[in-house]
Structure 1
Amino acid sequence: MDIQTRTEGSVRILELTGDLMGGAELDRFRQCIDKAIEEEMVNVVVDLGKVNWMNSSGLGMLISGLTSLRSSGGDLRLANLTERIRRPLQITKLDSVFQQFTSVADAVKSY
């Protein structure tokens, strides 16, 4: 998995590419979240449009980021979910936990 970061106003955007399978990816994602919190950029959008696959470790990674950001007074919102990524969220009922948007622009505006 690759992570590209950028900032729009007061929102940090993480664009993920590849498969979310945990392991080393979890460490890279955690570092991005920790850096956002350090820089007081606690409102984060995760762009999942280029993610091919996500297993339970990938779900856990997103939950961990959400928890850290909410503890810091922010939030984590998801954008550009494909059906392949949306389905595990629905099965686990996490679709009611994460705010989801059809575009990064809409997710950024929601803050």
Structure 2
Amino acid sequence: MNLVRETAGPITIIHVEEDRIDASVAIQFKDSFRALIEDDTGPVVLNLGKVNFLDSSGLGALVAARKLLGAGRVLDLAGLQPTVTKVMTLTRMNTVFNIHEDVPQAVAAHGATLSAG
């Protein structure tokens, strides 16, 4: 599972560099996510812009990632493809996660900006 980490002030941004989060990678996703956020304390934005397939195991992995953050921390989702948006809406997960059009919007929602470059 290829996840890439960047920061914008206190915000950790995790870019999912895969086209799917499903049963075959859900455990790897959780392990990789945990390793990237364990030393941080602020909000996390998960960029799903490259993900075009998400199954029930993938949804479970997103919920597990949210729980890993613990109380007082938030996991926002950004850049959802239409197929992923549909899954989130049908399962009502769009009421569980804050969903943003893109990463800059998600970062701005927490009062920060992305640096140019």
Report the identity percentage.
Answer: 28
Per-residue deviation, residues 28-73 of structure 1 (Å, max 9, x unmatched): 433323541x31334110101101211100000000111221x242
Q: Could you list the runs of 5+ residues in structure 1 that have no partner in the other structure?
A: none
TM-score (norm 1): 0.86
Q: What is the distance in 1 between the residues matched to 2:13 and 2:99?
A: 14
AA of the residue aligned to 1:57: S
Q: What is the distance in 1 between the residues matched to 2:75 and 2:34?
A: 10
AA of the residue aligned to 2:20: D
AA of the residue aligned to 1:99: N
- Whether the 8 Å contact between 1:3 and 1:29 is mirrored in structure 2 is no
**Which structure has the larger Rg?**
2
Pairs aligned (count): 109
- Whether the 8 Å contact between 2:12 and 2:40 is mirrored in structure 1 is no
Identify if the C-alpha distance between structure 1 residues 91 and 28 changes in structure 2 by more than 3 Å, giving closer, same or farther: closer
Secondary structure of 2:52 counterpart: strand
Structure with the larger helix share:
1
Aligned position for 1:27: 28
Secondary structure of 1:50 counterpart: coil
Greater than 6 Å deviation, 4+ residue runs: none
TM-score (norm 2): 0.82
